[in-house]
């Protein structure tokens, strides 16, 4: 079963919600965060990426950054203002991007279940990023960005969520600058009780986005003594859980910065000795195909039946590209640490890839067919870890709308 815990949200006044809401801290660089927050002192990026308010050469891990995050949060409490709910509540959070709509339940979820793998992971975390978000959480004494969870469909949850969104006007309803509509309802007491009961029929939850946030919450719990017997707000973490069938997964594409000792022609000839390679579109049309931009042209690489093993993870195109092309032909090994590869995700990824190669920033780019949600859940169920940067979920939740004070 999955435990659902109402919480007292720290949240902006409705009139300020659109200005406070910000993209997740880890999808923008410092420079991008500065640009997005420019002219908007209420942007939550001043809290999640506080280095944007310090001298340009400040390390994002400097003591002054965390101190600035604390002071900026205090400032927002007054200027936005941010208000604290009187009673613990659950929330329904709907994301709409064009024809895509997905609705989830914002709540606190149990770290005991995270530790026991009732909440499953599919990605390894980096220690430096864990250190950063753990300190950020402990300094603020708040979880300020929700983890994105998914679960297999439970009809009872869908029914309660639909009803909860119909009995009250939304708390927030705005369209962000990227065109994504964010609508949040506070759930009334009766529907909250029904949701808590309905989630007991969810055998497992899966982390889609936010592995570092969840891991940091677990580490903060250890620091605050929650795992030693005492209980408190630190025993849970903030997340929004969506039915897996409704979420939208986009590809996470690869950008190769150099071809080692190969010329573009030599690399293309080597590929043709191993695969069918033909002219093609900038996005692959089928699973088993990879689009490659090289030497001012798009090509389609047909991976065909080439396999590196029999598991669901072995059959992933991102894994096959890595083990059949990037490692043996270009010498790119661990993509978590290699400086010769970069990643571009999202709806405009193919155009961005082409631009970066044409500008000389990279030597070649690989546009992937998206990994399916079923693949993610199958691999997580088997205890597997997916290759780094395998999935890009969009639309994304916004930081700052609902925070969990610990």
What are the backbone dihedrals phi and psi of residue 17, each rounded to the nearest 5 degrees, phi first? -55, -45
Give the pLDDT score at 307. Answer: 62
Res. 149: pLDDT tops 70: yes
CB of 130 closer than 8 Å to CB of 219: yes
Both 202 and 343 in one domain: the answer is: no
Both 209 and 186 in one domain: the answer is: yes
DSSP calls for 350-369: HHHHHHHHHTTS-SEEEEEP
CB of 204 closer than 8 Å to CB of 122: no
DSSP 326: I
Both 20 and 43 in one domain: the answer is: yes
Both 351 and 296 in one domain: the answer is: yes
CB of 365 closer than 8 Å to CB of 255: yes
* Of residues 213, 220, 16, the one with CA closest to residue 119: 213
pLDDT tens digits for 271-315? Answer: 999 999 999 999 999 999 999 999 999 999 999 876 666 788 888
Beta-carbon contacts of residue 284 (< 8 Å; ≥ 6 apart):
290, 291, 300, 367, 368, 369
Both 348 and 305 in one domain: the answer is: yes
Give the pLDDT score at 306. Answer: 64
Give the CA dihedral 85, 241, 211, 249, nearest 10 degrees.
-130
- β-pairing, 119-120 vs 205-209, is parallel
CB of 257 closer than 8 Å to CB of 341: yes
Helix (H) or strand (E) holding 401, with range, is none
Confidence of residue 231 (pLDDT cuts 50, 70, 90): low
The predicted model scores a pTM of 0.93
- Chain center to CA of 324: 27
pLDDT tens digits for 334-384? Answer: 888 899 999 998 877 788 999 999 999 999 999 999 999 999 999 999 999
Both 51 and 63 in one domain: the answer is: yes
- Residue corresponding to tokens 């032909």: 329
CA angle 96–98–104, rounded 5-degree value = 20
Structure tokens at 49: 């990426």
Tell me which residue range forms the domain holding 158. 4-245+395-405
The three-class DSSP label of residue 46 is helix
d(CA 265, CA 270): 9
- β-pairing, 236-243 vs 147-151, is parallel
- Residue corresponding to tokens 């690869």: 254
pLDDT tens digits for 233-279? Answer: 899 999 999 999 999 999 999 999 999 999 999 999 999 999 999 99
Average pLDDT over residues 58-63: 96
- State the CATH number of the domain containing residue 259: 3.30.1760
Both 207 and 282 in one domain: the answer is: no
CA gyration radius for the chain? 22
Give the 3-state secondary structure of 243-291: EHHHCCEEEEEEEECCCCCCCHHHHHHHHHHHCEEEECCCCCCCCCEEE
d(CA 397, CA 96): 11
Both 191 and 297 in one domain: the answer is: no
Helix (H) or strand (E) holding 251, with range, is strand 249-256
Both 87 and 219 in one domain: the answer is: yes
Both 241 and 253 in one domain: the answer is: no
d(CA 319, CA 326): 10
CB of 315 closer than 8 Å to CB of 382: no
Half-sphere exposure of 335 (CA within 13 A, CB side): 23
Both 99 and 134 in one domain: the answer is: yes
Both 292 and 206 in one domain: the answer is: no
Give the CA dihedral 181, 187, 193, 194, nearest 10 degrees.
-50
What are the backbone dihedrals phi and psi of residue 9, each rounded to the nearest 5 degrees, phi first? -75, 140
Q: How many domains in the chain?
A: 2
pLDDT tens digits for 153-180? Answer: 999 999 999 999 999 999 999 999 999 9
Max distance between CA atoms of the chain, in angstroms, equals 67
């Amino acid at each position: 079963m999955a435990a659902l815990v109402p919480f007292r949200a720290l949240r902006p006044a409705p009139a300020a919600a659109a200005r406070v809401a910000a993209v997740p801290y880890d999808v923008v660089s410092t420079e991008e965060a500065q640009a997005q927050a420019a002219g908007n002192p209420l942007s939550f990026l001043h809290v999640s990426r506080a280095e944007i308010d310090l001298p340009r050469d400040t390390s994002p891990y400097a003591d002054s950054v965390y101190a600035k995050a604390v002071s900026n949060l205090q400032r927002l409490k007054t200027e936005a203002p941010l208000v604290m709910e009187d009673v613990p509540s659950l929330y329904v959070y709907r994301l709409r991007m064009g024809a895509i709509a997905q609705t989830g339940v914002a709540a606190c979820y149990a770290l005991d279940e995270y530790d026991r793998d009732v909440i499953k992971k599919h990605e390894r975390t980096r220690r430096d990023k864990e250190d950063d978000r753990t300190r950020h959480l402990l300094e603020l004494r708040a979880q300020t960005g929700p983890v994105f969870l998914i679960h297999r469909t439970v009809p009872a949850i869908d029914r309660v969520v639909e009803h909860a969104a119909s009995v009250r006007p939304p708390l927030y309803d705005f369209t962000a600058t990227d065109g994504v509509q964010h609508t949040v309802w506070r759930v009334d007491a009766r529907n909250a009780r029904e949701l808590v009961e309905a989630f007991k029929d969810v055998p497992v939850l899966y982390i889609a986005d936010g592995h570092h946030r969840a891991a940091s919450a677990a580490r903060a719990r250890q620091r605050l003594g929650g795992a030693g017997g005492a209980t408190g707000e630190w025993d849970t973490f903030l997340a929004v859980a969506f039915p897996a069938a409704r979420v939208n997964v986009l590809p996470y594409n690869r950008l190769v910065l150099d071809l080692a000792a190969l010329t573009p022609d030599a690399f293309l000839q080597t590929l043709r000795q191993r695969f069918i390679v033909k002219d093609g579109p900038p996005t692959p049309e089928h699973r088993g195909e990879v689009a490659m931009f090289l030497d001012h042209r798009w090509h389609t690489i047909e991976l065909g039946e080439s396999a590196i093993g029999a598991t669901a993870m072995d059959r992933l195109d991102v894994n096959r590209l890595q083990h059949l092309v990037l490692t043996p032909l270009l010498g790119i090994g661990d993509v978590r640490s290699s400086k010769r590869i970069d990643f571009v995700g999202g709806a405009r990824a193919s155009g961005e890839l082409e631009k970066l190669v044409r500008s000389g920033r990279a030597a070649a780019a690989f546009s992937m067919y998206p990994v399916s949600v079923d693949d993610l859940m199958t691999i997580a169920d088997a205890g597997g870890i997916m290759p780094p940067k395998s999935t890009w979920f969009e639309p994304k939740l916004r930081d700052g709308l609902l925070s969990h004070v610990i």
